[in-house]
């Protein structure tokens, strides 16, 4: 059997700090979760917190070569452990997230922590440095604007609809047309949809993101998309990934097939284009499982636990004898 999720992915990734505009920074890492920072006149807005305080400290050391301003706002795009559990390293005055993100941390934060630690142990550098769950101290439902001071303009934090989770937000710099999209858009990395609302994400939510008209886009993972064409490409890729899953899993569901057949159909359709991108194999069993639930009318994503992760993996990921889709659906 293939190694569970990313448990065998132990090779460190190269981190690159990129300057996207005056006082706007992103750290990318060859498909590991991206983070960012935006300078106000006398403070910083940081975007995403990494998996542990020790991992976050390395990012802050790199950032401190460019600015010594204190972190006033730490913005969390959504509740996933690898995005939030490093928060204590920032010493932020305010931790900002969507209303639903705080509710999800209360409802399933502990289970998600255990699940993600098992799936991606490499990202959890010194897991004992995590002091506990991260609790947002300011939440909102639609949008909120942070005024950066001086001539720096503003950061708009906005909820664009249901998507990667129930509570994703993006950070948008209208003056510089830079967008931090969280996991709602990936640029040359696979999408994780195990906690997603596929239909809303693939339609209205991505429509609203595209309508912003970004010229630079930092996705949740993968390279920074620079220029209108690259931004459009990243959004189109994310939409295509979702629509392909919806079509293939939907067809097997409609034909009365099984979850395993749906997995094979979606995997087979996506692999030629996305199979080599980071975390593709890791994501697919969880993605198809969630979409199958969604097609069965399960409105809210079921909570992933370390045990449920292993069960789904064992059910869907087999070495030699993959289940075939129904004959009518092949090719």
H-only helix segments in 120-219:
198-200, 206-211
Closer CB to Zn ion, 188 or 264, in the complex: 188
Stretch that binds Zn ion, among 22-30, 36-44, 68-76, 175-183 (CB under 5 A): 175-183
Minimum distance from CB of 194 to Zn ion (Å)? Answer: 9
* Contacts for 149 with CB less than 8 Å, ≥ 6 apart: 40, 41, 42
Closer CB to Zn ion, 183 or 281, in the complex: 183
Adjacency order of strands within the sheet including 154-158 = 143-147, 154-158, 170-173, 178-182, 216-219, 225-226
Is the C-alpha dihedral spanning 84, 88, 91, 97 positive or negative? positive
Stretch that binds Zn ion, among 15-23, 24-32, 178-186, 277-285 (CB under 5 A): 178-186
Minimum distance from CB of 192 to Zn ion (Å)? Answer: 6
Strand partners, 17: 27
> Under the phi-then-psi rule, with left for phi > 0, alpha for psi from -120 to 50, and beta for the rest, what region is 78?
beta
Q: Is 183 in the site for Zn ion (CB under 5 A)?
A: yes
Distance CA 255, CA 62 (A): 53
Closer CB to Zn ion, 183 or 186, in the complex: 183
Is the C-alpha dihedral spanning 289, 294, 296, 302 positive or negative? positive
* Summary count for the chain: helices (H), strands (E): 9, 13
Minimum distance from CB of 166 to Zn ion (Å)? Answer: 12
Q: Is 186 in the site for Zn ion (CB under 5 A)?
A: no
Minimum distance from CB of 164 to Zn ion (Å)? Answer: 6
Distance CA 123, CA 316 (A): 24
List 74, 80, 172, 283, residue binding Zn ion (CB under 5 A): 80
Q: Is 221 in the site for Zn ion (CB under 5 A)?
A: no
Stretch that binds Zn ion, among 74-82, 172-180, 272-280, 306-314 (CB under 5 A): 74-82
Closer CB to Zn ion, 130 or 265, in the complex: 130
Q: Is 290 in the site for Zn ion (CB under 5 A)?
A: no
Closer CB to Zn ion, 192 or 263, in the complex: 192
Closer CB to Zn ion, 39 or 112, in the complex: 112
Closer CB to Zn ion, 105 or 251, in the complex: 105
Q: How far is CA 300 from the centre of its chain?
A: 18
Size of the site for Zn ion (CB under 5 A): 2
By CB under 5 A, the residues from 34 to 73 that bind Zn ion are: none
Minimum distance from CB of 70 to Zn ion (Å)? Answer: 27
Distance CA 114, CA 241 (A): 27
Summarize as ranges the residues that interact with Zn ion (CB under 5 A): 80, 183
């Amino acid at each position: 059997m293939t190694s569970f999720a990313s448990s065998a992915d132990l090779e460190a990734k190269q981190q690159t700090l990129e300057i996207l505009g005056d006082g706007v920074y992103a750290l990318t890492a060859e498909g590991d979760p991206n983070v960012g920072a935006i300078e106000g006149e006398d403070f910083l807005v940081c975007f995403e917190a990494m998996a542990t305080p020790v991992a976050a400290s390395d990012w802050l050391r790199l950032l401190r070569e460019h600015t010594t301003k204190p972190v006033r706002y730490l913005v969390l795009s959504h509740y996933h452990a690898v995005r939030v559990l490093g928060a204590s390293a920032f010493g932020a005055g305010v931790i900002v997230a969507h209303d639903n993100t705080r509710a999800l941390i209360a409802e399933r934060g502990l289970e998600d922590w255990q699940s993600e630690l098992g799936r991606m142990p490499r990202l959890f550098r010194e897991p004992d440095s995590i002091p506990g769950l991260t609790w947002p101290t300011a939440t909102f439902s639609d949008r909120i604007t942070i005024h950066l001071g001086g001539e720096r303009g503003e950061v708009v934090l906005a909820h664009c609809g249901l998507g990667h989770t129930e509570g994703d937000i993006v950070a948008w710099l209208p003056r510089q047309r830079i967008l931090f999209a969280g996991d709602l858009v990936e640029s040359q990395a696979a999408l994780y949809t195990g906690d997603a609302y596929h239909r809303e994400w693939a339609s209205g939510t991505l429509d609203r993101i595209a309508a912003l008209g970004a010229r630079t886009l930092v996705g949740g993972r993968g390279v920074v998309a620079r220029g209108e064409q690259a931004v459009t490409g990243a959004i189109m890729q994310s939409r295509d990934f979702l629509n392909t899953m919806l079509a293939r899993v939907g067809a097997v569901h409609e034909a009365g097939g099984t979850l395993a057949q749906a997995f094979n159909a979606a995997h087979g359709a996506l692999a030629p284009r996305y199979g080599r991108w980071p975390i593709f194999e890791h994501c697919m069993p969880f993605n198809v499982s969630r979409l199958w639930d969604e097609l069965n009318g399960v409105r809210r994503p079921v909570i992933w636990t370390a045990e449920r992760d292993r069960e789904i993996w064992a059910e869907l990921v087999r070495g030699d004898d993959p289940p075939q889709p129904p004959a009518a659906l092949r090719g």
